[in-house]
Chain A
């Protein structure tokens, strides 16, 4: 059984399978059909709901895609849907603004936009200081061109929300932490023990990738361990030397700390998925799933990040790049899990550039993602760390390029030479995101651009 709070009422689901989605439950069991399925993969936002959990006396909310959120992931939490907003018969100001401002045409995406903007209006995760266009970048509309929806967002600034009622009900139910075929441990020690017992169990953090194995691949995940509520994997430790991020920290939670490491890193995080994806997906998951184009690894590799894995009571650390062995293969043993990633603070003498290239600026997967951390002493490169995603079966460093840079002065000619060296480092593939030739060309151009005065398209 799982339990969650919906509009102040405790909903009990006796027969939840670990991979039943919140969206299907809302639509087909509770007949709350306001929340829509547009893609069932977390890319359109039509299914946006907000999920809340106790944070001291308050409730911390976040907008998420219900289509790839498994029911056990809301066990012990609160959920609000578009229907929640006008329960008393009056439209919420966000709803009013969209309706009156001609922000709906076909109306199918509208509940998702309502919930994203509602999330902003209650200060939900990731919305603070975030422009409206970024708050709704994970919501697709095919009719309006977005203008009226943006205006509705601007017209509804964040207001303090009164969550006392929800908090009280949340306190009255304890998470159940396990059910048939699934576990949701609360500590990493419990997780370590569970994984020794079930070494083949599927580990799920935010389900932004694994969710698709179920909705698109129609797979049965077998025993599933949800790690999203493991408190000691959700910490961000910042000290003078490094930022250490637990495996279950969501992108939105880590964004500030990462942006503080370097502006480009914050910008990269901003462009990963839509806000709903960043509110669910974790950096640990992005690493552990070993995607060849996973957007964080190239940046973290360039920054010299170290990965800590744990099996039972044993831990081992490795440079992040060594975790990726080959396409689809990572250096993780049965029963082992990614515990945290440690990112050293760049030295003042290190210049950093991270660039993600994709067909669409927001909420797209990169064709090529390049990251550079280049340390200078007296105008010469003393250490170059260059890493790319999308150029090989795994995120990988560029040794020839790095060698071509090392010892050279920071100038246009140096980077032109280093750019040419990339051809030795990578044999990229052609796929739907770009041809091999384009990938090589544009990767080389990214290297070249380091030697040129920076002109940013988004400053225009």
Chain B
């Protein structure tokens, strides 16, 4: 046995990262004759496109060709589910930043300059940009979805206490450091090879095939690594890859695109902003008896993944809490703005924010400690069925919360915060402990499958391939650890390779935190197939006990034993009836809890997160270093979403914050000076996942809801006794100041 599993091994590309030798799409050597591409974007929003004069674009220096919808041999679509995402607008411009045409030029700069020279004739149409606009106009992508259990109306009517309220949450830009990029090289007989910075090579392959009118077998998509994804390269990479493929197919020349940051931010979708309305009935201890939650999501101009994202928001509107009688209604609203998309958590964070706000509201109403209200509402024995009728069989939230309360000394910290607030006139502190329960599995059941290809060479070296993509999350090293463990060899023996659609077909996106759960299982199955052959062979060889792994492989090869195998895995147990919103969409849940302490300046609205304590359950960790990295990174990213990261759109749907100069993700200085993170040492998946580990990609992001809740408490401390502040997210200085003013004016 190797001791690879469970070790805090560093990222397989760590040395390449620090040396600058790890290559991303734009770092690859450029094939001779390469064309550089730039999209021509709609400057204004919703309009009827009446004319597109590209004369000046074509005449610009360096321009080789210009493409529009008319040049697409197949379907003008890069949309994943509903085919409503045009590569280029045809008759209707749906949002500012929508691609209208594509320039291929001899240099990147020439392409960008030319792309701004088009004369666009368009008749402006009314733009519905906000959730309120779209809701009032009835712009629903599908009928409102209802998830219910019990009689919420009766429970609300009968409850001793009842409260209603609203929370608005902004969206979030992914801000992967590597912008969208792709490179296509034409092959022979109409085949094409595309290197794409994508989380979903199979989908890029399929979309390109249909767009070019060829078969999937004609298109190979490859991705070695992304410079960050976070969901932003799940569907959003397709347009860039398709653009390159179109140019390569039409010109016979290699083609590359790399989006300028501003163009990338204008063109690509973001986390959905939401409005959550609640109406909750509860008893004197703050225990919920009945609740109605209405979630409205701003989906943008096309469907993209918005339906599944909104579903996941509903799935997480309970978080860790038992809702005895519940009705969750979700609206998915079309707006004339860039189409929102997957982002770490995939709607889960927005659903969870809603119920955590309810907890704070109940506590404020009853004058209780919000932690007591949260604990009173946790799932527990006899109170363990979710709003979608799934029994929670692995509930460890009460234990994790209790352990964090003790280890972070919540009581003393709470007292210290109260003391601080009594001593300070301008500064106020807030403290909050919030739990996380996040469902693991794609809620679209068929996506829960994976394939792998393991090749053992006669020298004993191992080539590992699977359908998962590396975006920094440490998937490759974790899967390599699992495979090394099967063969009992050092991890370095296992060579990680690029993900390619010609090695493993029909893969799912690397998304939903599922990368390791699915692909490590598939890879283990492939490795075990080979291992069993090797073991069977060795059993027949007297000398086998003295052989090294390499010698074993050499001899097995000479004995004509196959050393290659595919592996496959499909998640068991899961099923879901979407029409009824009932079933078991998740194999299991990942849990965690965080305690955040913040301070605000009540004169300026500025805030600071001063201390964070986290306890998180990753089951039996495959790699504690990677897992802690996901926890810290996820937390800080979630903190950014809820504090400094503000997307501002104008009335035509134009994004005004389209660069890091105006859109502010956390810097090193925003990292709380105290950040105590621990993996829950009793963690173990009750389901038979890979080595009983749990997924870790998304859940920690939602630990940052504790920051928002703590900020809410700090604002409340600025006007004690006035109740729950109307603080919306992100909690910018402006919103904090406004919430204080509103509270004081009550």
Contact = CB atoms under 8 A, between A and B. Distances in A.
Interface string A115-141: 000000000000000001110111111
B48 interface: no
B496 interface: no
Contact of A142 (B230, B608, B656, B734): B230
A169 to B, nearest CB: 22
A106 B661 contact: no
Contact of A40 (B113, B260, B610, B669): B260
A446 B671 contact: no
A34 interface: yes
Given A110-B18, A133-B669, A365-B661, A460 B608 contact: yes
Given A39-B660, A140-B665, A145 B633 contact: yes
Interface stretch (B73-81, B148-156, B172-180, B395-403): B172-180
A106 B10 contact: no
Contacts, number: 273
Interface string B237-265: 00000000000000000000010111000
Interface in B649-686: 656-657, 659-662, 664-671, 675
A133 B675 CA distance: 15
A35 interface: yes
Given A107-B13, A355-B604, A455-B424, A114 B670 contact: no
B633 A105 contact: yes
Contacts of A446: 603-604
B543 interface: no
A446 B632 CA distance: 35
Contact of A41 (B227, B230, B261, B637): B261
B261 A40 contact: yes
Contacts of A365: 661-662
A144 to B, nearest CB: 5
A43 B661 contact: yes
Contacts of A33: 20, 23, 26-27
Contact of A216 (B20, B229, B262, B732): B262
B51 interface: no
A413 B406 CA distance: 46
B664 A449 contact: no
B15 interface: yes
A107 B675 contact: no
Contact of A34 (B20, B228, B741): B20
Contact of B17 (A104, A364, A455): A104
A34 B112 CA distance: 23
Contacts of A105: 11, 472-474, 629, 633
Nearest to A82: B20
Interface string A28-68: 00011111111111011010000000000000000000000
A455 B634 CA distance: 31
B656 A442 contact: no
Contacts of A355: 604
Contacts of B738: 438
A435 B734 contact: yes
A134 B669 CA distance: 7
A363 B261 contact: no
B644 interface: yes
Given A144-B629, A434-B734, A108 B668 contact: no
B636 interface: yes
Contacts of A150: 668, 671
Contacts of B716: none
Contacts of B472: 104-108, 143
Contact of B668 (A32, A133, A449): A133
B276 interface: no
Interface residues of A, number: 88
A145 B636 contact: yes
A414 interface: no
Contacts of B429: 460
A189 interface: no
A455 B733 contact: no
A130 to B, nearest CB: 12
Interface in A205-258: 215-216, 218
A103 B599 CA distance: 28
A438 B737 contact: yes
Interface stretch (A94-102, A296-304, A338-346): A94-102
Contact of A362 (B116, B178, B426, B669): B669
B176 A142 contact: yes
Given A142-B175, A146-B636, A147-B671, A360 B666 contact: yes
B20 A108 contact: no
Contact of B19 (A34, A44, A441): A34
A286 interface: no
Interface residues of B, number: 91
A361 B669 contact: yes
Given A91-B18, A142-B230, A360-B670, A38 B177 contact: yes
Contacts of A349: none
Contacts of A363: 667
Contact of B604 (A85, A86, A146, A442): A442
A414 B328 CA distance: 53
Contact of A452 (B19, B176, B425, B662): B425
A150 B674 CA distance: 13
Nearest to B28: A33
Question: Which of B225, B227, B600 has most A Cβ within 10 Å?
Answer: B227
A106 B225 contact: yes
A458 B11 contact: no
Contact of A460 (B29, B599, B632): B599
A55 to B, nearest CB: 27
A355 B601 CA distance: 13
Contact of B659 (A35, A39, A103, A144): A39
Q: Which of A37, A95, A109, A110 has the most CB of B within 10 A?
A: A110
A98 B10 CA distance: 10
A107 B660 contact: no
B659 A141 contact: no
Nearest to B114: A218
A455 B427 contact: yes
B625 interface: yes
Contacts of B741: 441
A198 B10 CA distance: 57
A320 interface: no
B16 interface: yes
B59 interface: no
B226 interface: yes
Interface string B384-406: 00000000000000000000000
B14 interface: yes
B670 A361 contact: yes
Contacts of B426: 449, 452, 455
A276 interface: no
B418 to A, nearest CB: 15
A441 B20 contact: no
Contacts of A393: none
Interface in B621-640: 625-626, 628-629, 632-637
Nearest first, the 6 A-B pairs at minimum CB distance are A34-B20, A106-B472, A108-B227, A107-B17, A105-B472, A145-B632
Given A27-B27, A34-B19, A361-B669, 7 more contacts: A32-B20, A96-B18, A102-B625, A106-B229, A145-B636, A146-B666, A361-B670
19 contacts: A27-B26, A38-B179, A40-B260, A44-B177, A98-B18, A102-B10, A137-B667, A142-B230, A145-B634, A145-B636, A145-B666, A146-B636, A147-B671, A149-B668, A216-B659, A360-B664, A361-B608, A452-B425, A455-B424
